[in-house]
Amino acid sequence: MSIAKNTQYGNINISEEAVATLAGGVVTECYGVVGMASKKAFKDGLAELLKKENFSKGVVVRKNEESYELDIYIVVSFGVKISEVVLEVQKKVKYMVETTLDQKFDRINVFVQDVKVVG
């Protein structure tokens, strides 16, 4: 699935991986986020931290009738207020993907897969 746009100069197709990499880059810069996690179930009770080239495994892009939705899976740092970290992730990702891609995103769903002690 990709985001398709038509302009006077031709067609533009933005891949799901490009959207995931953009969202993942924004997420990893947020305070309290250790990294992106895989959307798959926990392995041995531990969430797998993803590297930059694998952000698409931690982001799901879905199309609704008029807009798009993102599901983002993250790992947060121990000792931070999870609700504040998630709210900040939602705001930053929504702003960045909407301004960069010039496309409406109705929902940014954030799933906290794990809490890690960083030290």
Model confidence pLDDT, tens digit, residues 95-108: 999 999 988 999 99
The beta-carbon contacts of 87-96 under 8 Å, at least 24 apart in sequence, are 88/30, 88/31, 88/32, 89/27, 89/30, 89/33, 92/26, 92/27, 92/29, 92/30, 93/23, 93/26, 93/27, 96/22, 96/23, 96/26
List the domain range (segments joined by +) for residue 110: 2-116
Model confidence pLDDT, tens digit, residues 18-53: 998 899 889 989 999 998 888 765 554 556 676 666
Q: Domain count of the chain?
A: 1
Model confidence pLDDT, tens digit, residues 52-81: 667 777 888 888 888 899 999 999 999 999
CATH number of the domain enclosing 72? 3.30.70.1350
